[in-house]
Amino acid sequence: VEYIDSVTSITNFKDLVGTADTLETRPLVPDEIPESREELERIRERALSNRAIVNNLVSENGRIASLVLQIFDVTMGKEAAKKADNLMDRRITAEVRRILDEEGLEHAHIAGMAFVRAQMAEMMGQDFKRFLPPTFIFVFLLLVVMFRTVLGVFLPIFTVTLSVAWTLALVALSGKTLTVISTALPPLVLVSTIGDAIHFISEYYEDAHHIPDKHQLTIRTFAYVAVPCFLTSVTTMFGYAANYTSPVMPVKEFGIFSALGVGMAYLATMTIIPIALNMARHPQHKKHTGAGAYKEEGFRLYKAVLRGVEQLNLRHRKAAFLGAILIMIFLGSGIAEIHIDTNMISYFKDDSPVKRGFDFIEGKLAGVNTFNVDVRVNDPNQENLLKEPRILRKIEKLQKFLENDPSGAVSQPFSIVDIVKAVNKAMNEDQEEFYKIPETRQAVAQFILLLEMAGDDNAEMLEHWVDYTYTRAKVAARVNTIGSSDMVKLTKRVKKYLEEEFNDEEVHATVTGQVVLFADLVHLLLNGQIYSILLAFSLVAVCMMLVFRSFILGAIAMIPNIIPIVVTLGIMGWSGITLNVATVMISCVALGIAVDGTTHYYTRFKKEFQIDQDYDKAMSRALHSVGPALIFTNVIVIVGFSVVMLSNFKLTFYFGLLMCITMFGALWGDLIVGPIALILFRPKIAREVYTVEKPVDPLSTIPKE
C-alpha cells in the first residue's frame, strides 16, 4: 500500500531462539502456514508466552489479532506536509478498506490517527451537504415571510452566497485545508452577514412610503444604513479576528477567514443591493412591505411581542434589570465550573466506525496512542552507560510505575530493557526465571552483540529503542484514548516521578511525544481563550465609544454584549459541556454577533432621542423601528446554527447548540436589557441635527453640458 513503511503482525514477527552460545531470529509463523493442529497450537502457545506479542499483536485469549501499520514520515514543508497528510490518510484508509473487503474482513476494526483524520475529512464533506441546503431553504422562507417581494428575498441570498463563495475561495487560494472547525465557516458567514442586507432592505421599504423618487430613496437608505452597517461589520470582524491570537492553528485560521468573510459581505451588500434597488421599480405600489409588514393584521403575534417587550421595558424596568443581574450572577458562577478537555474520539457518535474501532481495539488489546519517555545520559562521553544493569533497572522501575498508573489507561510499556530480558530468557532455554536483567554490564553487552549478529533487521530494530552510543533510550507505553485533562494529570504524575527517580548525576528523563502535545494544548486553549476574550472585548468597547462619541454611552452599550457571553459560558459550566478546540471560540464569536444588534439599536435610539429628548419615547420608537429586523436576523442566525447541529461530529453539534444559546442571549440583551439600561442610566446624549428627509441626489451636483 502506498505511504506504508512497514506492517507488523504475528505472521512476520521474529522469534528469538537461543542455544548454548548462539542466538537466532526465526519467523514465529512459517511462510507456509502449517495445517496440523499440533503445529498451530505450538505457534499459539509460543505467541502467548511472548510479552511483546500479547495485547499488542494478539489478545490474551488468542482470538483477536492486529496488524500495526507504520506510515512514512512527511518531511516536506509545513503546508505541503499538511496537504500530503490529508491525501495520505484518505488513500491509506481507502486502500486498507478495499483489501479488507476483498479478503472478506469487512467487519475488521480500524483505529489510529490517520484513520481519524480520514473519517473527519469524509464527514466534513457530508456536513457541507447537510449544512448548506437546509440553511438556504430556511433563510429563503424567512425572507419570504418578512419581505414578500422578489428583490427582498433574492438580494440578501445572492449577496450572502457571494460572500460565502469568496470566503471559501480565500481558504483555497491561501493553500489552507478545511478542518472540523472551519466547516462551520459557510453557515457562520451566512448568518453573521445577512443582517446588513436585512437592515438595508427593511429601511428601504419603510422609507418607500414617504419618498416617491426611487433614486433619492436609494440614496437616503444608503446614507442612513451604510455607517451603522459598517460599524457592525467592523465590530463583528474584531470579535471574530480575536480568535487569530489563539495558539491553536485551526482556531487561528477560523478567526481570520470568518473576519474576512464578514468584511467581504459588507462590501457586497453596500454595492450590489443599492445598485439593484436603484434599477428596480419603486415599491410604492405595494400595500405593505418590508419592516412595516409587522404592523399588518397578519403579523399580530409579531406586533404583540414588540408591544409586550415595550411594556416590560417601561413599566417593569427595575424588576427586569434586577432579574437580569440575578440571572447573570447565577450563570456567571457556572463559568468557574467549566471543564477544559479535548478528546477527539469522544466527539464521534457511538455508531461511527472510528468510535467502534477505538473502543474495540482498546478494549481487547492495548491503547492506540503512545506515551513516550526519553532517557538520556547526562554526559554524552559516557558511551554504553545504558548497558549498565543499575541504569536498566531504573528504566524497568519506570515501566512498572507506568503500568501501575491509577488511571488504568497505560499498558504495554516497552524499552531496551525488554529486549535484553527476552535475549536472556532465550539464551537460557526459555526458562521464565531468566526473563530478567543480567547481573553484569558484560553480560548485557554480550546479549546485545548476539542479537545484532543474529540479523541486520535486529540492529535496525535496536536503533528504534536506543542510539548506537547507548547514551539515549526510549520508553514507549500504549495509552487508551483519554481526555486531555486526564492526560495532563498523567503527565504530571510521570514528571514528578522522573524528578524524584532520575535526578542523579548519571541520567535524566523527560516526557515526550503526543502526550506532551495534549498537555500543552490544554494550557494553550485556556490562555488563548482568556487573551482572545479580553482583546475582542477591548476592541469592541473602543469601537462602541468611538461610534457613539461618548465613553459612558459606549460603556452602557457593552452591557447587552456581555449577556450572551455570560449566558453561553454559564450554561456550558452548569451543563458539563467542555471547553475544547471548537467551543473555545464561542466567546469571541458570540461577542462579534451580539454587537451587531446592539449597534443598530443604539444608533437608532440616538437618532430617535434627538426628536424630543425623551428617553422612554426614544426607546419605544427605536424598538419598533429596529426591532423587526433584529428579531428576524436573530431567528435566521438561530436557524442557521440549528442546521449545524445536524453534523455527524459532536464537536460541531455542540458549537451549533451553543451558538443558538448565544443568539437567544443576544436577543434578550438587545431588546430588553440594553434598552432598559439606557432609560435607567440616562446617559447624556449630545444634540445633533439630521437633514435626511430631503436628501440631495449626488448626481444633481454634476454640471450638465
For 50-94, what is each residue's pLDDT tens digit?
A: 888 888 889 988 889 998 888 876 543 444 444 445 667 888 888
How many Å apart are CA 89 and CA 123, to the nearest integer? 14
How many Å apart are CA 604 and CA 616, to the nearest integer? 13
pLDDT given at position 86: 60
The mean pLDDT value for 282-296 works out to 51
Please tell me whether residue 595 adopts helix, strand or coil conformation.
Answer: helix
pLDDT given at position 117: 80
How many Å apart are CA 484 and CA 486, to the nearest integer? 5
Exposure string of 526-562, with b = 16+ CB inside 10 Å and e = fewer, is eebbeebbebbbebbbebbbebbebeebbbbbbbbbb
- pLDDT at residue 688 above 70? no
The mean pLDDT value for 278-288 works out to 69
Please give the grid coordinates belonging to residue 482.
Answer: 483519554
Question: What's the mean pLDDT when you consider all of the chain?
Answer: 82
CB burial class (10 A; 0-12, 13-18, 19+) of residue 578?
buried
pLDDT given at position 705: 43
pLDDT given at position 313: 92
The mean pLDDT value for 244-264 works out to 82
pLDDT tens across 1-21, in order?
Answer: 777 878 888 888 888 888 767
pLDDT tens across 339-363, in order?
Answer: 888 787 888 888 888 899 999 988 8
Query: For the chain, what are the domain ranges?
Result: 116-178+185-210+222-272+306-346+519-685, 369-479+482-512
Instruction: Identify the CA nearest to 663 among candidates 572, 568, 529, 580.
Output: 568
Instruction: Identify the CA nearest to 373 among candidates 523, 494, 484.
Output: 494
Query: Do residues 59 and 42 make contact, with C-beta atoms less than 8 angstroms apart?
Result: no
Please give the grid coordinates belonging to residue 327.
Answer: 440571572
Please tell me whether residue 68 adopts helix, strand or coil conformation.
Answer: strand
Q: Which residue has the cell 433563510?
A: 139
Q: What angle do CA 76, 124, 140 make, to 5 degrees?
A: 135
- pLDDT at residue 174 above 70? yes
Instruction: Identify the CA nearest to 562 among candidates 677, 678, 669.
Output: 669
How many Å apart are CA 401 and CA 294, to the nearest integer? 70
This prediction's pTM: 0.75
Query: Do residues 666 and 601 make contact, with C-beta atoms less than 8 angstroms apart?
Result: no
pLDDT given at position 150: 86
CB burial class (10 A; 0-12, 13-18, 19+) of residue 587?
buried
- Provide the percentage of residues in the chain whose pLDDT is more than 70: 88
Least confident window among 5-9, 476-480, 584-588, 599-603: 584-588
| CA 487 vs CA 130, 407, 411, 493: distances in Å | 34, 9, 14, 10
How many Å apart are CA 23 and CA 423, to the nearest integer? 8
How many Å apart are CA 660 and CA 646, to the nearest integer? 13
What does DSSP say about strands 369-377 and 507-512: parallel, antiparallel, or unpaired?
antiparallel
Helices 674-681 and 317-335, axial angle in degrees (round to 10): 120
Q: What is the DSSP string of 621-654?
A: HHHHHHHHHHHHHHHHHHHHHHHHTT-SBHHHHH
Confidence of residue 693 (pLDDT cuts 50, 70, 90): very low
CB burial class (10 A; 0-12, 13-18, 19+) of residue 106?
exposed
- pLDDT at residue 329 above 90? yes
Query: Do residues 670 and 590 make contact, with C-beta atoms less than 8 angstroms apart?
Result: no
Least confident window among 285-294, 468-477, 610-619, 644-653: 285-294
Please tell me whether residue 293 adopts helix, strand or coil conformation.
Answer: helix
Of 443-452, 573-582, 630-639, 694-703, give the range with the top mean pLDDT.
Answer: 443-452
- pLDDT at residue 689 above 60? no
How many Å apart are CA 541 and CA 547, to the nearest integer? 10
Query: Do residues 24 and 112 make contact, with C-beta atoms less than 8 angstroms apart?
Result: no
Q: Does 182 or 473 have the greater pLDDT score?
A: 473
- Provide the percentage of residues in the chain whose pLDDT is more than 90: 20
Amino acid, single-letter form, for residue 97: R
- The beta-carbon contacts of 344-353 under 8 Å, at least 24 apart in sequence, are 344/116, 345/116, 345/481, 346/481, 346/483, 346/650, 347/649, 347/650, 347/651, 348/119, 348/648, 348/649, 348/650, 349/648, 349/650, 352/119, 352/648, 353/110, 353/119
Least confident window among 26-30, 116-120, 686-690: 686-690
Alpha helices in 404-483 (DSSP H): 416-426, 441-453, 456-463
